């Protein structure tokens, strides 16, 4: 169980579309709207987990045309997000939207988030600790996964809010934006490599 928890920590602790966009919502709109978006991400991630556990994700991704459509949609969204981050100017805004994305936005992002599918597949397909009882194991994994997931995402939300409050020099703000955009491009490249290997 400890190995599983450490795997979860490392897999979801790395920057991906969910945490980067959550930090952006926190920076742009504060805790209240950030928590609404976090709730959407949480619901969406659990829907992805259930799709992986039930085998639905495997069935969906077995169809090459559907896998290509989902990969293209997620890559397009992530490239758009990387562009918005990189060209946010000299302020840390991450995302420019008149209204915060909210719960629905979080659910939608997770539905097309390649990292969510990859992490959930890796987590729930490996690290067996109750092999005799798959339902009990899945239940424990979901509980542990969600506890770590929520804690890490709250940290990313706090980081987004804190970065905005720091009132950094314009050059440093621009470097942060570019760094986050590069991280998003890295996610796009990893998603593309995974899509072509499958």
Q: What's the pLDDT tens digit per position in 67-117? A: 777 767 777 776 776 676 666 554 544 444 556 778 998 898 888 887 788
Q: Decide if pLDDT at 31 tops 50.
A: yes
- What is the average per-residue pLDDT within 7-19? 77
pTM: 0.75
Token pair for 92? 């840390």
Range of the domain at 165: 2-197
Nearest to 114 by CA among 56, 172, 192, 38: 192
> Lowest mean pLDDT: which of 17-21, 49-53, 175-179, 190-194?
190-194
Give the tens place of pLDDT for each residue, 41-69.
999 999 999 999 888 877 776 777 777 77
Work out how many domains the chain is built from and give that number: 1
| pLDDT at 17 (0 to 100) | 78
pLDDT value at position 47? 95
């Amino acid at each position: 169980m400890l190995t599983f928890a450490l795997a979860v920590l490392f897999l979801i602790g790395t920057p991906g579309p969910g945490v980067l966009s959550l930090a952006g919502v926190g920076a742009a709109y504060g805790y209240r709207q950030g928590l609404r978006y976090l709730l959407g991400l949480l619901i969406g991630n659990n829907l992805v987990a259930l799709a992986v556990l039930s085998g639905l994700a495997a069935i969906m991704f077995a169809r090459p045309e559907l896998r290509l459509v989902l990969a293209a949609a997620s890559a397009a969204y992530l490239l758009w997000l990387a562009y918005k981050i990189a060209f946010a100017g000299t302020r840390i805004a991450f995302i420019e939207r008149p209204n915060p994305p909210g719960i629905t936005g979080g659910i939608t992002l997770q539905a097309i988030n390649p990292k969510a599918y990859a992490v959930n597949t890796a987590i729930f397909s490996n690290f067996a600790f109750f092999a005799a009882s798959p339902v009990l194991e899945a239940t424990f994994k979901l509980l542990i996964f969600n506890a770590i997931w929520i804690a890490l995402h709250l940290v990313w939300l706090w980081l987004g809010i804190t970065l905005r409050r720091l009132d950094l020099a314009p050059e440093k703000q621009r470097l942060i934006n570019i760094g986050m955009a590069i991280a998003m491009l890295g996610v796009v490249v990893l998603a593309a490599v995974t899509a072509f290997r499958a």
